[in-house]
Structure 1
């Protein structure tokens, strides 16, 4: 029997917020019926899936926030929050380099995969094996994150808890939007993904880095490039970033800062004058799940140290 691959269409995000959860669930059922026998709905989707494999850190994070961790039988290597996920669950490998055989060995009743999961051959093999496969769009907008939470809950059979979590997340995004209106002149931020062999890989427009910088009230200094691309020393100097944003690794932050601003391109930026080097946990910064409003708020506070950036009132992230 052909696989059941559910793609949650971005068009669903245009629905009225209060109607989205129920409409989304109906959309999912309709999509399944279009690609497989109607018996799938009665045998699987209408019932709560008991053995879920998650391919995507944000999916794992949301399932834990919904209290569904006992149904998780496997997670991918980007599932780093909460920390117990990778400790307690089998690791199916990197989200873009999955092994279909490894996933199938866990005998899942449902595989939930972020849209960028792959490789395509592995996804095809899962389909051919008849695995129920739900593809979750990885929208990085505030509205997209809220919809993503509702989508994950709908597929996992937890529509109402997901709706509550989505409403809490939306409230945090609304607070964040209000904070952005209080900021002084916007600062230019350069997100550096890696520095290897003299090549600087940065996050340009339409990247996840671009999205979090915008949410935090900054301007992407690498907006001249698309996605994640190398940037020349001359272009970095011309971009004149006020701050450099990077993901945390195991190295010493102070040493990393000095090494960064010792590089010719970065030594000539406004960021170097103030040693404005912001380092944050990668999944927290770029996960685009329930914690994203808090992550954007923390980035905002680091970008504008002289402004009063209070904690979100809806504070505790799930």
Structure 2
């Protein structure tokens, strides 16, 4: 897998300018499907990063519902929950009478999304992606949909500055394993084309399971052979209450360099894998943990 570097100052401004040019050329009128209003006032956000960006653009007061993955900022949790991102029902989403639905590309199932697109309401698909450029594109698309290009410009500049401040990734590259779940001792890990893989790359690490695609279960033998220096996982997730001691007691993990040194980093799931405005913070946190490995 090719390593992704954080924005450097000059390239950051070029990418922002390009994204803003797209935003200005397209505008809300071109992005909005039939049924959308010029000033959407009742927005449903589907996707944790979508909800976070809406709030960051100062439009959180327009949200009337969100999906289960939308946990940041904390006030978003007070909104009606229309269900899990990939198991949505059209009835649940439309029951709050939205005039705009902002949905990440990963929302589903397909049948539900088809119904929502055909409904007499605005629907905008927000592209997924796990690079700094992808974050800028998400902000541009949502900013255009909300009619807030100035706020989008400011937020993109803030995020770009956050990446630029990180500088170059430190050497040597440490080996990182992201665990999504540990059910019955069987580990589900992050491969390529995941938020975890993108984060590891930006932090200057090596994803030990980059040869896999998406999230996949792996055998004990594969874990031992991968020899991670650091285990990364979510603070709250489907780990079934396994604390660090319980994880390190699993024979496969105990046999790895990370297991022997106790190198575990837990991070908020949306922060780690969402690729939104706070991603520079996530990169800094992971880099710090990697730098602390002896």
Q: TM-score w.r.t. structure 1 length?
A: 0.82
Deviation per residue, 1:116-169 (Å, 9 max, x gap): 011111111112322211000011101111221121111111111011101110
Residue 52 of structure 1 pairs with residue 51 of structure 2: no
What is the CA distance between 1:292 and its match in structure 2? 0.4
Alignment match, 1:18: 17
Residue 64 of structure 1 pairs with residue 55 of structure 2: yes
Q: Kindly name which structure, 1 or 2, has the bigger radius of gyration based on alpha carbons.
A: 1
Per the alignment, in what secondary structure is the counterpart of residue 222 of structure 1? coil
**Structure 2 stretches of 5 or more lacking a match?**
1-13
Alignment match, 1:10: none
What is the CA distance between 1:251 and its match in structure 2? 11
Alignment match, 1:8: none
Alignment match, 1:228: 215
Alignment match, 2:188: 201
Contact 2:189 2:218 in 1 (8 A): yes
Q: TM-score w.r.t. structure 2 length?
A: 0.89
Contact 1:169 1:293 in 2 (8 A): yes
1:279 to 250, 260, 266: 266
Residue 115 of structure 1 pairs with residue 105 of structure 2: yes
Alignment match, 2:8: none
Partners of 2:242 and 2:114 lie apart in 1 by 45
Partners of 2:234 and 2:31 lie apart in 1 by 38
Alignment match, 1:133: 123
Per the alignment, in what secondary structure is the counterpart of residue 63 of structure 1? helix
For this pair of structures, how many residues does the alignment match? 281
Partners of 2:233 and 2:293 lie apart in 1 by 21
Per the alignment, in what secondary structure is the counterpart of residue 266 of structure 1? helix
Superposition RMSD in Å: 2.4
- Give 4+ residue runs of structure 1 displaced > 4 Å after superposition: 28-33
Partners of 2:109 and 2:27 lie apart in 1 by 24
Deviation per residue, 1:85-118 (Å, 9 max, x gap): 111x111111111121111111111000000011
Per the alignment, in what secondary structure is the counterpart of residue 178 of structure 2? strand
Alignment match, 1:304: 291
